[in-house]
A and B are shown apart, each in its own frame.
Chain A
Amino acid sequence: MKTIDTDTLDAIRELVNIGVGKAAGQLNQMTGSPIRLQIPTITLVPFADILSAEKSILPGDVLSAVTLDFNGTLSGITAVVFPPESAILLVMVLTGEKEESPDLDAMRVEALKEVGNIIINGVMGSIANVLGERLTYSIPCYTEGSFASIAERRSTTAADEWVILARTNFLIEALHIEGDILLILEVGSLDHLVESILRTGNREGAG
């Protein structure tokens, strides 16, 4: 089994925290309601475990997710995942629509994709700032299904590859909306990331 030292994990947790914090700020602006963020959990797992339905870290067969692939000095996938009820509720709150039993139809999916896009760009913007280097990104995608089927979109990551899974659960209590921001980072690209985080940390410490 692969291991990563505590300092590295802490550094990644810190980085994710900054990114997710910024994203939560944007979500807060959009909804006008306070967002409660959990501390990110960071785990090192084989990618196959993420793809395995039995070991799924997020329950549910019909999750709504907006995903973004990124490559460069850091490679992986970022996703904002909602239970279906939360997804539709969020869109209804943001569009101000009133309907008895709304569906997540084509138009609302586009709206959810934009919300996911704003959140993910907030996360990735912070990470890219720390890295100080440009990444290449895919176009954001909307996917419905189990968490395994969402992660499956990352076709360039081999099943036996070890990845870092960062998960942050958020809750908009007033609106009964919850979701998760997930980052799956390929371990191969971590050295550069950790170096950048430490460098940034030192710089801030010196300042």
Chain B
Amino acid sequence: MIRPTPVDTTFSLLDLLPTGVFVLRADFTIRFWNSCMVTWTGISTGQAEGAHILELFPSLKNPAVLSRISQIFDGGPAVIFSPLFHPHLIPCATMDGTLRVLKISCIPMTGISARDDSGILVLVVIDDVTDLTHLVNAYREKKGVAERQLEELTKAQDALCKANNKLSVLASITRHDILNQLMGLRAYLELSKEDVKDPVVQEYIKKEEQAAEAIEWQIKFARNYQDIGMQAPKWHVLSETINAAIRDFQVPGVEVTVAVDGVEVFAEPLLEKVFVTLVENSFRHGDHVTRMGFSVKETADGLLLTYCDNGVGITLEDKKNLFKKGFGKHTGLGLFLLKEILSITDITITEAGEPGKGVRFVMTVPKGAYRFGTTDVPQTDELHPGNH
């Protein structure tokens, strides 16, 4: 009776893998050839198994390749052939006939119980990284384009900076000259007032003085406005910036709370002046302020940075024009400039206080323009000096 040849199922599981896999004996004959290899190479299992790998793929005869595989049979570790150095070491075609880019790992297998094998077998695992290669190449190309654009932008920015500086110097000199002339004009107006007795002309002089005062205010405003945006925004450790701003406002009987630990905000370098102005305004206009405070709260829209006091607050009438140019008593930076300074990095500011109960300025810092350092930010209601 003829007994059927027993089927070797030692490696049958490897047939299910979606990667190319084959097993080599020490004499470089193929012991197993999976179905993925059949598809990729067009070499059937019957043709491959038992055949010599170097006859099927002469590219493997390269001494730099062959010696490394041989080392595995001598007891050495696994060997890797990377796609950059050996993209088509074993030619495998795609459906459209182009060669797949391959990553090949040769792994020693010991202790495999099999009918005709003794010693080490080598498991060769072939990953198709063609798509990955295309993605990486596309990424490199885009990165190259981005780098070139960045270089051009940097050059343009440098040129703009230089031009801006020149304009700034010119504007500064012009302002200085105008103020000098203005001082002369006001002196002569003062002399004219003394010499001229005609009440009609006196009225004209009064109007001329008002006009001169307005010119002076506009020149000073232009000086302050010009500083905005001159330097690139930067990350501010909020507690440090606020503490620096309030340093000169330590008044007995006035308590200042700063609850912003661990928060950093990306803003114009003039941010400290924003806080100075807010506190200065509380002292100047708050009437009976005894508490002031800065606090933060993270919301879905961003970080809310709130400044409050317990003074007289702002009337509903004043609230309408609060952030308009020219509003106020023409001292300090003015809330219009504050708003401009903050808007450089898309920070908005609103006043939400109740008249008679104190001011409540809420600055909304957008996502990406704030980050947390070492201390956690309170997630509950922010501190309010009026709630103490």
Contacts of A111 in B (CB 8 A): 82-85
Interface presence of A140 (CB below 8 A): yes
CB of A121 within 8 A of CB of B82, answer no
Interface presence of B313 (CB below 8 A): no
**When chains A and B are docked, how far (Å) is the Cα of A118 from the Cα of B129?**
21
For residue B110, give the distance in angstroms from its CB to the closest CB of chain A: 7
Contacts of A117 in B (CB 8 A): 77-80
Closest to A103 in B: B143
CB of A136 within 8 A of CB of B110, answer yes
**When chains A and B are docked, how far (Å) is the Cα of A136 from the Cα of B133?**
32
CB of B75 within 8 A of CB of A135, answer yes
Contacts of A137 in B (CB 8 A): 76-78, 108
Interface presence of A124 (CB below 8 A): yes
Within 8 A of A (CB), among B80-122: 80-85, 103, 105, 107-108, 110
Closest to B75 in A: A134
CB of A128 within 8 A of CB of B82, answer no
CB of A68 within 8 A of CB of B103, answer no
CB of A139 within 8 A of CB of B85, answer no
Interface presence of A113 (CB below 8 A): yes
User: What 0/1 pattern do residues 55 to 80 of B give for CB contact below 8 A with A?
Assistant: 00000000000001001001111111
CB of B77 within 8 A of CB of A107, answer no
Contacts of A49 in B (CB 8 A): none
Assuming A128-B75, A139-B107, is B84 touching A95 (CB within 8 A)?
A: yes
Contacts of B136 in A (CB 8 A): 105-107
CB of A121 within 8 A of CB of B133, answer no
Interface presence of A191 (CB below 8 A): no
CB of A101 within 8 A of CB of B79, answer no
How many contacts A-B (CB < 8 Å)? 75
For residue A142, give the distance in angstroms from its CB to the closest CB of chain B: 10
**When chains A and B are docked, how far (Å) is the Cα of A61 from the Cα of B74?**
37
User: What 0/1 pattern do residues 59 to 100 of A give for CB contact below 8 A with B?
Assistant: 000000000101000000000000000000001001100011
Within 8 A of B (CB), among A125-144: 125, 128, 134-140
For residue B264, give the distance in angstroms from its CB to the closest CB of chain A: 21
For residue A145, give the distance in angstroms from its CB to the closest CB of chain B: 20
Closest to B87 in A: A107
Chain B binding surface SS class: mixed
User: What 0/1 pattern do residues 166 to 186 of B give for CB contact below 8 A with A?
Assistant: 000000000000000000000
Contacts of B107 in A (CB 8 A): 139
For residue B228, give the distance in angstroms from its CB to the closest CB of chain A: 34
**When chains A and B are docked, how far (Å) is the Cα of A138 from the Cα of B83?**
21
Interface presence of A114 (CB below 8 A): yes
Interface presence of B373 (CB below 8 A): no
Contacts of B78 in A (CB 8 A): 117, 137-140
Contacts of B110 in A (CB 8 A): 134, 136
Contacts of B139 in A (CB 8 A): 105
For residue A58, give the distance in angstroms from its CB to the closest CB of chain B: 23
Contacts of A70 in B (CB 8 A): 77
Interface presence of B144 (CB below 8 A): yes
CB of A106 within 8 A of CB of B82, answer no
Interface presence of A108 (CB below 8 A): yes
**When chains A and B are docked, how far (Å) is the Cα of A108 from the Cα of B78?**
19
**When chains A and B are docked, how far (Å) is the Cα of A136 from the Cα of B108?**
9
**When chains A and B are docked, how far (Å) is the Cα of A186 from the Cα of B228?**
63
Assuming A99-B144, A139-B107, A140-B80, is B75 touching A114 (CB within 8 A)?
A: no
Contacts of B77 in A (CB 8 A): 68, 70, 117, 120-121, 124, 137, 140
For residue B157, give the distance in angstroms from its CB to the closest CB of chain A: 19
CB of A107 within 8 A of CB of B133, answer yes
Interface presence of B251 (CB below 8 A): no
**When chains A and B are docked, how far (Å) is the Cα of A124 from the Cα of B129?**
29
Contacts of B132 in A (CB 8 A): 106-107
Interface presence of A173 (CB below 8 A): no
Q: List 8 A-B contacts (CB under 8 A).
A: A99-B144, A105-B136, A107-B84, A111-B85, A125-B74, A137-B108, A139-B107, A140-B78
- Which 6 A/B pairs are nearest by Cβ-Cβ distance? A137-B77, A110-B82, A114-B82, A111-B84, A134-B75, A111-B82
Q: Beyond A108-B84, A120-B77, A137-B77: 5 further Cβ-contacts under 8 Å?
A: A106-B136, A110-B84, A114-B82, A117-B77, A118-B68
Q: Which residues of B contact A (CB under 8 A)?
A: 68, 71, 74-85, 103, 105, 107-108, 110, 129, 132-133, 136, 139-140, 143-144, 147
